[in-house]
Structure 1
Amino acid sequence: MHIERYDGNRDALLPLFALADDSPTQVASYIEEGEVVVARAGDEIVGHALIIDTGDAATFELKSIAITQARQGEGLGRALVAATITYCRERGGRHLIVSTATADIGNLRFYQRLGFRMASIVKDAFGPATGYPEGLLIDGIPLRDQVVFELDLGTD
């Protein structure tokens, strides 16, 4: 497995973006922003991470991250987050934020295990008004609210 910056056509990554976000409207709004790093197994792209500026030079956002279903559980997500942290630190970043659904138990566990701390909750972030179908469930929990996590990158 190899992680590298991706400069290709981002439409080729749409299946990965769709794994990370259930709203095509939302994906379309940010897919061309920031920098993308990918995880490759040979010539095949098996994961991605999208890193965007927040307007605060010290804070970056991990806007999208996904691993193909066949390769989940192999540590590729951790490797992509590590590459994202390196990218942010090299650019003077002191904080990395990421958000996910409060209903997504797996993501909540993943980010906390990596040292992210809950920073805020955005109520009713997911619904028809923001491009998400009504009635979506994750792990049997209604998709409604969003949690924002923050990781203090410190200074190396």
Structure 2
Amino acid sequence: MMDIRKLTKEETPPWELLLLADPSRAVVEEYLKSGNVYVGEKSGKAIGVYVLKETKKVVVEIMNVAVHEDFQGKGYGKQLIAHAINEASKRGYAQVEIGTGNSSIHQLKLYQQCGFRMTGIDFDYFTRNYDEPIVENGLLCRDMIRLCYTFED
């Protein structure tokens, strides 16, 4: 179990973790301007992070979610996603969206296990928006898979 808290605007975001999920510091800096950063800590050390950003009046998006490599595969990612869903629910949002690369096999599995459903594909998103090719799990990351969690009425 880890403690999850909202980072204050005065605190420095955990860049090492944020860049695990998104290799472009410029892209991350852009969504940090209007997003809220939540840090998962264990014994006072940041081991996980996610960013929640309102995209529409009733929709919030998880822009970044990452767990330190030493702690992956132990349920911390699932705990971060559950926390994000709970935060969105408390704030009255109708949906939580998330996007990930076509090559992000483990993340696609995790998000679906957490109740997200695939809603679309943004073809060539990563080749359009990132200067360097991203290769993950032996696959070129080209397309963004969009998923959505909808709260039941």
Query: For 1:6-155, what aligned pairs fall within 5 Å after superposition?
Result: 6-7=7-8, 9=10, 11-54=12-55, 56-127=56-127, 129-134=128-133, 136-155=134-153
One-letter code of the match for 2:47? V
Check the 8 A contact 1:24/1:131 in 2, yes or no.
no
Provide structure 2 residue ranges, at least 5 long, that are not aligned to the other structure: none
For residues 104-143 of structure 1, give each alpha carbon's deviation from its aligned partner in whole angstroms, at most 9, with x where no partner exists: 111111111111110010010012x413403x31111111
Check the 8 A contact 1:39/1:47 in 2, yes or no.
yes
Q: Distance in 1 between matches of 2:89 and 2:13?
A: 28
One-letter code of the match for 1:133? E
Check the 8 A contact 2:97/2:146 in 1, yes or no.
yes
Check the 8 A contact 2:59/2:95 in 1, yes or no.
yes
Task: State the TM-score, normalized to the length of structure 1.
Answer: 0.90
Q: Distance in 2 between matches of 1:130 and 1:24?
A: 12
Check the 8 A contact 1:33/1:52 in 2, yes or no.
yes
Q: Aligned in 2, Cα 1:137/1:74: closer, same or farther, shift over 3 Å?
A: same
Q: Distance in 2 between matches of 1:97 and 1:57?
A: 13
For residues 47-76 of structure 1, give each alpha carbon's deviation from its aligned partner in whole angstroms, at most 9, with x where no partner exists: 01100000x221110001101001111211
One-letter code of the match for 2:103? A
Q: Distance in 1 between matches of 2:13 and 2:6?
A: 14
SS in 1 for 2:73: coil
One-letter code of the match for 2:42? A
Tell me how far 1:9 sits from its aligned partner. 4.6
SS in 2 for 1:126: helix
One-letter code of the match for 2:87? Y
Aligned residues: 152
